[in-house]
Homo-oligomer: A and B are copies of this chain.
Amino acid sequence: MPESLAMTKRTLGVCYYPEHWPEAWWADDARRMAALGLTFVRIGEFAWSRLEPRRGTFEFDWLERAIDTLHAAGLRVVLGTPTATPPKWLVDEMPDMLPVSAEGRVRGFGSRRHYDFSHAGYRRECARIVEALARRFGAHEGVAAWQTDNEYACHDTTLSYSQAALNGFRDWLGARYQSPDALNRAWGNVFWSMEYASFNEIELPNAALTEPAPAHVMDFRRYASEQIVRFNRLQADIIRRHAPGRDVIHNFMGRTLGFDHFDLGRDLDVSSWDSYPLGFLDQWADRPAEFKRRFLRAGDPDIQAFHHDLYRATSGGRWWIMEQQPGPVNWAPHNPAPREGMVRLWTHEAFAHGAEVVSYFRWRQAPFAQEQNHAGLLRPDSEPAPGFAEAETVAREIAALDLPEATQAPVAIVFDYPSAWAWETQPQGRSFTYFRLVHELYRSLRRLGLSVDFVEAANPDLSGYRLVLVPGLFSWNERLRAAVASAEGEVVVGPRSGSRDPNFAIPTSLPPGLPGPLAALKVARVESLPPGASVPVAGESGAFGTWREFLVGTGDFDVRLRTEDGEPALVGSGTLSYLAAWPDADLAVSILRGAAERAGLPVLDLPPGLRVRHSGGLVHCFNYDEAPVHLPDHGLSGEPVLGTHDLPPSGVAILREG
């Protein structure tokens, strides 16, 4: 980590598009940014048509003047590579660089992200423009960090069904399986005479008349994820060659599970993400209408933190918010204005979870083009928008605080992007998604006041955790199985974990394949349930729904919960438990409270709008609700370093622990 960025002091930033405004405005904009208390300014990521208006005609001078202007005002630039927006002349030179939808339609020019990660020609073009930019600006002292492209996967661009993708996939399969027979065996192609005699016979999985083999889809998902990682690495490597000591960042979107962010994050110094709480709440379908109305102007209290914790893990701890919602946005089905104070709250919550930088999107609302209804810190007439004052407040508050670095949480969730692909490929029940399963457990942990880390399934260091969850894991790897076997804390595995081998087949010894005394446990069969159908649990007010497994096998373990129809539902031996179904919110809290108590972890019982985060001896408290709340004396009685024990709507308090 370059020393210059190893900070405990949190800072603010903003996204800025000098090419959108008269050059005469730049200096004043820079002055006002600095005066507001901002430190970082991201620029350049959509500017290819201005940086290279015609092939080979580089026009970098304006960018240098912009960087110089910002730098002169004391700001530090994050320079984006413009590869999310290839210009028209380039697309017209090689139209087969365009991605193709699952329905077979070319996804063309006219907006952004119109390129196929599999296209070798486009990768060469990207290397060319990144090389040119990195040569010119790599050593510029105003450029503190680089961002590769922007929001991989946004607008459903992970998967493309182009000729380039088909060629690439065939080569990838050839390298992976070496012989068509090996592939036929791995995919189970004998099933419906789907056997291939040559890798060149294989089609993309959008071609089949009905459902393709799940292993076929899974390999295409792996292939597609690897293309993005390779695409990013190409840029990161060039930047590192020319910009020593600068952080390389990519800016992730929320809830994009199409590619493996851990895998990609290994090529980054910093993971950043886009936090749009109101847009996410309205756009994502899996919360009830009443909940959506309650948090209409605040966002889901457990979505931002979830991503903060996840992206803190994807690059080894260092993370930013690159785009923070500063007011109403334009892209969700409905776009309400945030309640007063929420922009401040969201910013503080990111810092509580360890963000180094929170950067608002964007400086000035653009009155033209696609995002003209997206608020900025400034209105289109350059007057401050409401978010401006909230950013100013935060800037003042963090300057007065001395927040410690994020510390390890007591609870870990093992997270695995391939599991998301697997259950999207084979949900078995329409409402089964990996994201929803993991997020509902995360929400229950938060209701108990517990702070959470995410741990990558492929690199599972569980040391120090007193409670570990392994939900919905597609397939064991040996390191993870060993880590579970030797974990110091309580470990709750399941549901559906370990239910497939890497070839997407049911292990012949049957799932879940646990270590130790639970090794005798087998999932004899599974069922999925429609909304409204549930399986009551003996002695509990909550119930199971969506998914259930029927366990068989005997051994040295206890049945800790049983359904009312007599099936074992939670089975354990010592610190290891297996959960054989998907619990509703009440049941999940009950199960996790039990596990936390066994682990000796103190828990709270928080209302849906109050959330806390423990880190470095402090407890950060956030009131997402529109009613004031008094912090419970039990557990949240420490001395305030910010705010008081009475939180107004959108209120924030930071207490000393104890």
Mark A residues whose CB is within 8 Å of B. 19-20, 46-50, 53-54, 82, 85-89, 92, 99, 103-114, 155, 157, 187-197, 201, 203, 205, 207-216, 282, 289, 292-293, 296, 327-328, 330, 333-337, 365-373, 375, 379-381, 383, 385-386, 426, 428-431, 503-510, 522, 524-530, 532-533, 550
Contacts and interface: CB of A to CB of B under 8 A. Distances in A.
A50 B505 CA distance: 21
For A109, A187, A282, which residue has the most chain B Cβ atoms within 10 angstroms?
A: A109
A289 B533 CA distance: 10
Given A208-B110, A208-B111, A530 B366 contact: no
Given A293-B533, A333-B530, A505-B372, A105 B103 contact: yes
B49 A209 contact: no
Contacts of A20: 190-191
Contacts of A336: 527-530, 533
Given A54-B197, A87-B195, A205 B110 contact: yes
B157 A379 contact: no
A383 B92 CA distance: 61
B209 A111 contact: yes
A107 B509 contact: no
A431 B335 CA distance: 12
B372 A214 contact: yes
Given A109-B207, A111-B210, A333-B429, A524 B47 contact: no
Contacts of A333: 429-430, 530
Given A50-B193, A89-B197, A105-B103, A525 B369 contact: no
Contact of A525 (B86, B107, B328): B328
12 contacts: A19-B190, A50-B195, A82-B193, A88-B196, A88-B201, A110-B213, A112-B193, A187-B368, A191-B368, A191-B371, A368-B504, A383-B524
Nearest to A428: B373
A228 to B, nearest CB: 16
Contacts of A187: 368-369
Contact of A193 (B47, B103, B216, B507): B47
For A54, A88, A296, A327, which residue has the most chain B Cβ atoms within 10 angstroms?
A: A88
Contact of A192 (B46, B212, B429): B46
For A191, A193, A526, A530, which residue has the most chain B Cβ atoms within 10 angstroms?
A: A193
B525 A385 contact: yes
For A49, A89, A201, which residue has the most chain B Cβ atoms within 10 angstroms?
A: A49
A211 B156 CA distance: 13
A372 B188 CA distance: 10
A428 B504 CA distance: 42
A110 B195 contact: no
A386 B110 contact: no
A318 B79 CA distance: 63
Contact of A211 (B214, B370, B429): B370
B193 A49 contact: yes
Given A110-B194, A111-B212, A188-B369, 10 more contacts: A20-B191, A110-B203, A111-B192, A191-B371, A333-B430, A334-B430, A335-B527, A336-B528, A336-B533, A373-B426
B87 A328 contact: no
B368 A530 contact: no
Contacts of A48: 193
A367 B506 contact: yes
Contacts of A530: 282, 292-293, 296, 333-334, 336
Nearest to A51: B193
Contacts of A191: 20, 46, 366, 368-371
Contact of A194 (B92, B111, B209, B383): B111
Given A214-B372, A379-B524, A525-B327, A429 B334 contact: yes
Contacts of A282: 530
A503 B368 CA distance: 8
For A203, A336, A365, A431, which residue has the most chain B Cβ atoms within 10 angstroms?
A: A336
A157 B209 contact: yes
A104 B107 contact: no
B203 A109 contact: yes
A88 B20 CA distance: 52
Contact of A368 (B188, B212, B335, B385): B188
Contacts of A373: 426, 428, 526
Nearest to A383: B524
Contact of A337 (B213, B510, B527): B527
For A19, A46, A211, which residue has the most chain B Cβ atoms within 10 angstroms?
A: A211
B429 A335 contact: yes
A618 to B, nearest CB: 33
A375 B193 contact: no
For A209, A289, A379, A522, which residue has the most chain B Cβ atoms within 10 angstroms?
A: A209
Nearest to A82: B193
A217 to B, nearest CB: 10
Contacts of A114: 208-209
B366 A188 contact: yes
